[in-house]
Each structure stands twice: as structure tokens, then as C-alpha cells.
Structure 1
Amino acid sequence: MGAQSALRIYKDATAIITGGASGIGRALAEDLAARGAEVVLADLQTEQAEELAAKIRAAGGKATAARLDVTDHEAFTRLVEETVERTGRLDYLFNNAGISHGMGAGARHYRIEDWRRVIDVNLGGVVNGVNAAYNVMIDQGFGHIVNTASMAGLVPSPGTTSYVTTKHAVVGLSHNLRAEGAQLGVRVSVLCPGVIRTPFIEGGAYGREVEGVTGQQSKEMWEKRKPIAPEEFARKALDAVARNEGVIVLPAQWKLFWWLFRLAPKFCLTIATKTFEDLGRTSSAPRPGGKQGAAAATEKG
């Protein structure tokens, strides 16, 4: 493995960021580079990743772009191995890539392939990243895995059931891996953003738009929850990662929802039910068996 020292925060560190071409991933990459880390932007959006890497290098930072489908375990493993061979270390893995289908429409509109795609990317991609990087970090004696979940991994969020399923799983994975990794020199944190103003709130580049709940409607729904800029999120998140916090909830006011759900889950589920009922009254989403079934949905991207 070569000569190693200890985890670097963040100067002269090496970090791989999946979904690094846009949104939260992009903001994390730019902030990490500004703090002196070398960043690897792993994304299917290769042109955007290349443009961002060039921008970071032009500003005096270190960045490379790599095409990566996080559902491809062999490709993920190869990227980790190549990065370690080139830089001599892997300080951070940000498992950040994620997708959603039919935000706001509800599980009744999902096709089985929608379930599988969201699970493969949002959970399978994290598992692939952990499997590729965890033992490398153990062998070198240090490392920090940072998984992007969501507030939807901590509390109910009706209308996003497939997404919620994966994000709860990512939170559970992160808790367990943090407990295991602590005695092996590997830190693990999980990011649980509230609403961040990124393309994701409109469905993202690889989400599926369910007819009746358009990207614009999704955006309007989330805008009511006062999203923050990804740059603000990244700055605060990286400060928390540096402190080795286990569960990182941002913006901070969203912690109130998490605490309330833990204290009064029945009450919160009642509120969630009412919220979804209100969403149904303002949405034109088709009902199963109607003239416009879920098969009328179109792919975004």
C-alpha cells in the first residue's frame, strides 16, 4: 500500500465523490478542493464532471473526473484501486449519488422497475462503495466513509416511498458500519439533508417523472420547505465531518422534526398522512386503473 500516515482534514487528502458533477456532490467537491483536498468526481454525467474538474484545476485545486455507474461493483472497485495507486491513499469516500422516481406521486404509481432502479442506485451504490473502499481503508489504517442519506431516512415522507426505503437503509448501514469501523480506524458518517436547492428537487437527471406530478410541481412542493443553497450545506457538512459527527442533519432546524418523530411517532404519522392527503388534492396524479395509468410515465434525463 505504500507509506501512509493518518486521515487528513482536508489538506492533501484524497476524496472520491459519487454524483460529483452536480448538486450536493458538486458543492462538496468545490469546498473540499478549496480546503486542499484532491477530489475525484465520479459521475455518469461525464461532460459536467470534466467541466467541473477543469474549473477546480483552473482555480489552483486538484481534481479529476471519472465516469462511474455506482451500480457497477467492478467499476467502483477499479476506480478505488486506480485512485489509491495514483495518489497513494484514500482519505474519504462520499457515497453521494442518488435518484428518485415520481416524487410526490406515491407508491401506487411505481412500476417494479422503478423500485429496483432506486434501490440499485441509492442503496446498492452505497453498498458497492463500501465494499470497494472499506477494506482499503482498514489496510491503510485510516479513512472516512460519508454516506448521503436524507431527512427521509429519519422520518416519514409520504409520496417518496421508494426513496425513503433506501435512505432509511443507508442510515442503518451507516450506524452499524460506524460501530464496526471505529475499532479498525475507519470513520463513518451519514448526511441527512433537509431540502437543498439542487436539480434533485425537480427529479434530477436520472429520475422518472410520473404523469400528474411534473418536475415543476415537485420543485414547487419542495420550495415551500425553504431549501438552502448546496454551497451552504457543503460547508457546514464538511465542518461536521471534520468533527467526526455520526449523523449530520442540515439545516439544523430539521433536527426538530427528527426529535419530534422519535418522541411522538404516532403524532408525526398523523401529520404525514394529512400532508399526503393535501398533496393528493392539489395534484393531478392519475389513479391506477384510470385512463392514465403509471405506464404513462416518462423517463427524465
Structure 2
Amino acid sequence: MQDETIRIFDGAVAIITGGASGIGAALGRELTKRGCEVILGDRQIELAEEVAAAIRHAGGKATAAELNAVDYDAVEALVYETVNRTGRLDYMFNNAGIAMTGPAIVYKIEDWNAVIDVNLWGVIHGVQAAYKVMLEQGFGHIVNTASLAGLLTAPGRLSYATTKHAIVGLSKTLRIEAAMQGIRVSVFCPGFVRTPIIDRCGKYGKVLKEPSPEQQEKLNQLVEKCKPIPPDIFAQKALDAVARNEAIIVIPSRNKLFWWFDRLFPEWNLWLTQKKLAEYI
């Protein structure tokens, strides 16, 4: 059970949940450029098929699979189907996620359940299904998509931040256990990336309380100040870090300054975040 048996990335096989759009689709495109075969799992099967077809047209190897990460049996079936067909699973990218915006007071319990089911249980399902296979074959790399909101606060996205913090904790802990078995684990903590989640929380997200036009304009200005990066640029940098087997992958790298500041001065950073938020509400 040696790490060197994993393929980085030429000749490798990867499953990507949430692979039809945003970061997932960008990872699929970049992985295939590097010689990896990808399976794009997503509820949006038509869109996943379009992405896979475009990849194949460009010379890459990609297939689409209808998948809801909330359904463990479906995730497990896709993992075993992939291994039975290809003989291996080098990478499991647990990337599916949704967001909701609004203050805590407007949440209903079903809103919490919806976010936790996709963002947290979806990752757990991918880990549970892939880890067993990777232990059997003696190699593999699990990569979970969290967020900068999994390292810092995210006012207005309470459930999102909750699940992303949980993913970071899961990934760090599993990384220690898995390393002793020759398995790698990393977690993505992206800042703002131009994906559907930025635009009203994406297809499956939800705006729980509509901002006023003035508030929306201020929030849009805040997002632009954070300089969102294109998902394809994110994928390039992220996969370079995966190849180096980095544990916590923060992109853009400038966001590491905010993370370090928060770790050094947590109370001060909470105060500063609250003060800055007041300018936008």
C-alpha cells in the first residue's frame, strides 16, 4: 500500500460530484487536460452530459452520471461501477454543494436540513464509499470542497459556514488516519470563485430573505472587491496543490492572510468582521 501507485494525473480515474457546473466542471476540464479520465456526477444530468461532451470533443476522456450526493446508495453504486469498469479510483472529489443566504431568524428547519444533506452528508457519502475502495486497492486521494467560509466567519450564510467548517474538520481528521494507510486527503477552501453559487446561491440554493436593491448593490460591490477568480483558474491552481498533496488548499493564496489573521487574533477578527458587515446592511 504505497502512495506512489497513485497516478498524478496521467492515466488516473476521478469521480467529481457536482461536476456539471462551476468548480466541478472546471476540475473535470483541467483533469482531462492532464490525462485523467473523469466521471461527472450531478443532478443536472443534461448539463453534465454537455460538459462531458465538450471534454471529449477536446480530446479528453469524460462521462456523465446522474447523481444526487444525498443518496448514499447511488454514490456507492457509482464508485463501484467506476472501479469495476476501470480497475481503479485514484481521486474522489466530493464537490457538490449548495448555499442559502439570510439571517438565522428566517431559517426553517427544512432549510437547515437541505444544506446539511447536500453539503455535509454529500461529502460523508463520498468519503464512506470511496475510502473503502481506496483501502482495498492501497492508494487514492479524497478531495473535499469546503470554502474560506470553513475557516472564517460568513455572516448571512450561517448554514453554509456551519457545513463548511464541518468539512474542514472531517478532512483534517481523516487525513491523519488515512495517511497511515497510504491514502491522501485534502480539502479545498476557495475564496470567491465565479460560479452559480455567487449568483443567488445557484440552481439548488435559496435566498431566504430578499435584500433591498440598495443592500444588493452593496453586496455586489463587496463581492467584486474580493476579486472572484474564474473557476478554470481555480482548477489549475487547486490541482497543482493536490499533486503536492497539500492538506488545506486556500485559493486565491492572498486569502491565507485572512486565515492567519483569524488564527492569531480571533476576537479582533470577529469584531472587525462585524464592523465591516455593518457597512453593507
Q: 1:166-198 CA deviation, whole Å, 9 max, x = no partner?
A: 000000000000000001111000000011011
- Which residue does 1:136 correspond to in 2? 133
- Which residue does 1:82 correspond to in 2? 81
Separation in structure 1 between the aligned mates of residue 127 and residue 24 of structure 2, nearest angstrom: 17
The 5 Å alignment of 1:28-39 reads 28-39=27-38
- Which residue does 2:163 correspond to in 1? 166
Relative to structure 2, which stretch is displaced further, 136-145 or 201-210?
Answer: 201-210
1:240 aligns with 2:237: no
1:226 aligns with 2:224: no
Q: 1:266-289 CA deviation, whole Å, 9 max, x = no partner?
A: 110001212332332xxxxxxxxx
Q: 1:225-284 CA deviation, whole Å, 9 max, x = no partner?
A: 11011111100000000000000000000000000000000110001212332332xxxx
- Which residue does 1:276 correspond to in 2? 277
With the length of structure 1 as denominator, give the TM-score of the two structures.
Answer: 0.88
Separation in structure 1 between the aligned mates of residue 191 and residue 209 of structure 2, nearest angstrom: 25
Q: Go from structure 1 to structure 2 and tell me whether the alpha carbon gap of 1:214 and 1:33 turns closer, same or farther (over 3 Å shift).
A: farther
Separation in structure 1 between the aligned mates of residue 226 and residue 105 of structure 2, nearest angstrom: 24
Aligned residue pairs: how many?
274
- Give structure 2 stretches of 5+ with no counterpart: none
What percentage of aligned pairs have identical amino acids? 58
* CA contact 1:201–1:219 (8 Å) conserved in 2: no
Separation in structure 2 between the aligned mates of residue 212 and residue 257 of structure 1, nearest angstrom: 28
Separation in structure 1 between the aligned mates of residue 109 and residue 173 of structure 2, nearest angstrom: 29
- Which residue does 1:12 correspond to in 2? 11
The structural deviation recorded for 1:116 is 0.8
Separation in structure 2 between the aligned mates of residue 197 and residue 156 of structure 1, nearest angstrom: 20
Q: Which amino acid aligns with 1:170?
A: I
Q: Go from structure 1 to structure 2 and tell me whether the alpha carbon gap of 1:40 and 1:219 turns closer, same or farther (over 3 Å shift).
A: farther
The structural deviation recorded for 1:158 is 1.0
* CA contact 1:189–1:246 (8 Å) conserved in 2: yes
The structural deviation recorded for 1:40 is 0.2
- Which residue does 2:183 correspond to in 1? 186
* CA contact 1:17–1:42 (8 Å) conserved in 2: yes
Q: Which amino acid aligns with 2:97?
A: G
Q: Which amino acid aligns with 1:257?
A: F
* CA contact 1:159–1:276 (8 Å) conserved in 2: no
The structural deviation recorded for 1:221 is 3.9
Separation in structure 1 between the aligned mates of residue 211 and residue 53 of structure 2, nearest angstrom: 36
The structural deviation recorded for 1:210 is 2.5
- Give structure 1 stretches of 5+ with no counterpart: 281-301
Separation in structure 2 between the aligned mates of residue 221 and residue 80 of structure 1, nearest angstrom: 40
The 5 Å alignment of 1:53-202 reads 53-102=52-101, 105-202=102-199
Please give the secondary structure, in 1, of the residue aligned with 2:277. Answer: helix
The structural deviation recorded for 1:219 is 4.8
